[in-house]
Structure 1
Amino acid sequence: MLRLSPKKRLATTWRSHSYCMGGFTLDDIKAARKPRDSWWTVFLVDPLACRLALLVANHTSITPNGLTRLSILLGFASAGSFATGRLAVGALLFYLSFTVDCMDGKIARLKGTGTPFGLWLDYVGDRIRVLCCAFGFAYGQGPSVFWVAATTVVLLDLFRYMNAPQVNRVREATRMLVAARAGSDVVFVEDVLRLSPQARVGNLVATHDQPLVDLHRGWRARFPWFDRFRIFLVRHRIRTHVVGGIEFHAAVFVLAPPFGPWAMVWAAGVVGALLLLFESALVYRIWLAAREAGRTVPERVKVLV
């Protein structure tokens, strides 16, 4: 076995330490962001989260899982503040908890230190934070109407994050069905748009080397403005699912609390309805795609960006 001298071991350790705790720039952090994210994260969280992540990456050895645990602790502190009636403090702590939660993924992608267990911890930590904050708020207010509101928030949160993986399963099953019926490799429009997000679906012309399938042709026929809307959001790194779980949490636990408990109830009702609307649109879209899969014939096309 090759043995290094103490001096060489020290130099190797220092280089490794320098990579893990220094030398990163803000551009490196920004490159580690998700390609598309919620508008709340893009505009109101990432500007702070990226700069905090830069400090953590360059000056500490905190792991992504360590950040997730810190986020959970801040979530507990937020729930405690809601339970004692300090709604504005609870809102601030919830915002900080979510900001730290946004940092762990950036650090993981930047340093390559993410773990499979970290995915579980991040997901479960988010659900625990929402549950504790919702029922902490209800406990702090007392009357049954606030318990009903808290239960509604928790159920909507669970529905959103249970529905998403099921939608993905249906999407993958639909794609497999089309590929099996085609009898050859096919390329899907959504994959092309993922690689060239600002390409227009209308800029597809015939070629001889690439069979392409548009499973969302029915959706686009019903909503012809959607492609322009998608491109507008892509340019700002925003996902098309405009009201999802993150926006719901932000409305209920960050924006509404400073205006009082009834503002939180109203936020849960109004934004919860919008959440259900967007989830319904998502289900409708995959239903149309599944129906399209039964009669789709691959076309040979190429993309003009």
Structure 2
Amino acid sequence: MSTYSLAEVYAARKRRDSWWTVYFVDPVACRAALVVANHTRITPNALTVTSLVLGLLAAGCFAMDELAAGAAMFYLSFMIDCVDGKIARLKGTGTPFGLWLDYVGDRVRVVFCAAGLAYGQYALTGEARWIVLGAGVAVLDLFRYVNAPQMKRVRETIKEARAQAAERATAAGLVPAPRGAGRRRSFGRRLNRYLARRRVRTHLISGIEFHAAVFVVAPLVGAAALVPVSAVAGVLLLGNEIFLVYRMWLFTRRHTVSAPQESREHVLV
């Protein structure tokens, strides 16, 4: 069995990740991955299944109103979910089936935890708002993970079309227009570079932070925090998704305006 160093595990981390993962999960997950890689033969798929089982246990804890235990189980489930990716990249043992299993396992975990949280509080209080809370969390999560691959597909389709247009323009002897290298860098670009050096994505709240807020932070604070924390996290997540869709719309609009003209100025810039 090969011996890996902590530096090699660090190198197997994602190039950029959510701030919750970078600061609150990876410090634990990297050391857990080091132990798994050096002292076991556990496969990434086995870790994914373990993560799913822990997620279902978290849902059971939420259903029994054991909020702190549920939060701990959910955190452990997500941490193991981070370990499986690191092991796959470290050992080169990732598979297409593993990607599918990881994706579906995440969705199952969130839906069951949302249902468990809603059931546990509804059983105690009989208030319908908990059913609304559980349904809202599940719908927002599913929307996020249905929307993301579709946006990626749209961008890839447009980039492919632009590459083909650029090839045709090059064949016709057109020269790419200058990009204005002397433009002053915006604050947004400087911030993006700063975060990139720390492996942090620019999104304030993505699906991961949403899950952490609903299933870790709020339960640890207590039942009184479940609705307000989930509501704020949900609004922020929805706002982030709307912003991403808006950026995609601008991207597609620029393409659809320029593509029919096939001009030197627009096709190549």
Q: TM-score, structure 2 length as denominator?
A: 0.88
Structure 1 residue 40 and structure 2 residue 4: aligned?
Answer: no
Give the Cα–Cα distance (whole angstroms) in 1 for the partners of residues 177 and 79 of structure 2: 40
- Return the letter of the residue paired with 2:223: P
1:139 maps to which of 92, 111, 119: 119
Structure richer in strand, relative to its length: 1
Shift of 1:242: 2.6
CA contact (8 A) 1:81 1:90 kept: yes
Give the Cα–Cα distance (whole angstroms) in 2 for the partners of residues 212 and 118 of structure 1: 44
Matches within 5 A, 1:1-305: 18-19=1-2, 23-142=3-122, 143-184=127-168, 211=176, 224-293=186-255, 294-295=257-258, 296-299=266-269
Over residues 144-193 of structure 1, what are the superposed CA-to-partner deviations in whole Å (9 max), with x where a residue is unaligned?
A: 1111001000000001101100110110121122223223499xxxxxxx
CA contact (8 A) 2:68 2:220 kept: yes
Q: Which stretch has the larger CA shift, 157-166 or 176-185? A: 176-185
CA shift in 2, pair 1:179/1:63, >3 Å: same
Which contiguous aligned blocks of 4+ residues in structure 1 show a shift greater than 4 angstroms?
210-214
Over residues 17-72 of structure 1, what are the superposed CA-to-partner deviations in whole Å (9 max), with x where a residue is unaligned?
A: x22xxx10000100000000000000000000000000000000000000001100
Question: SS of 2:13's equivalent?
Answer: coil
Structure richer in helix, relative to its length: 2
Shift of 1:284: 1.0
- Return the letter of the residue paired with 1:298: L
CA contact (8 A) 2:36 2:42 kept: yes
Give the Cα–Cα distance (whole angstroms) in 1 for the partners of residues 163 and 83 of structure 2: 38
CA shift in 2, pair 1:54/1:127, >3 Å: same
- Return the letter of the residue paired with 1:171: R
Over residues 208-252 of structure 1, what are the superposed CA-to-partner deviations in whole Å (9 max), with x where a residue is unaligned?
A: xx95898xx9xx99x943212211210110112231100000000
CA shift in 2, pair 1:211/1:93, >3 Å: farther
Give the Cα–Cα distance (whole angstroms) in 2 for the partners of residues 28 and 184 of structure 1: 43
Q: Which runs of 5+ in 1 are unaligned?
A: 1-17, 187-209, 300-305
CA contact (8 A) 1:179 1:185 kept: no
Shift of 1:290: 1.3
Shift of 1:286: 1.3
CA shift in 2, pair 1:105/1:147, >3 Å: same
CA shift in 2, pair 1:261/1:60, >3 Å: same
Give the Cα–Cα distance (whole angstroms) in 2 for the partners of residues 53 and 212 of structure 1: 48
Q: TM-score, structure 1 length as denominator?
A: 0.78
- Return the letter of the residue paired with 1:89: A
CA shift in 2, pair 1:62/1:145, >3 Å: same
Give the Cα–Cα distance (whole angstroms) in 2 for the partners of residues 141 and 213 of structure 1: 60
Shift of 1:261: 2.1
| Alignment correspondent of 1:202 | none
Shift of 1:111: 0.6
Q: Calculate the aligned-residue CA RMSD, in Å.
A: 2.3
Q: Which stretch has the larger CA shift, 133-142 or 286-295? A: 286-295
Q: Which stretch has the larger CA shift, 174-183 or 227-236? A: 174-183
Q: Which runs of 5+ in 2 are unaligned?
A: 259-265
Question: SS of 2:203's equivalent?
Answer: coil
Shift of 1:87: 0.2
Q: Which stretch has the larger CA shift, 49-58 or 132-141? A: 132-141
Over residues 244-294 of structure 1, what are the superposed CA-to-partner deviations in whole Å (9 max), with x where a residue is unaligned?
A: 100000000001102222312112210111111111111111111112223
- Return the letter of the residue paired with 1:261: A
Give the Cα–Cα distance (whole angstroms) in 2 for the partners of residues 258 and 149 of structure 1: 17
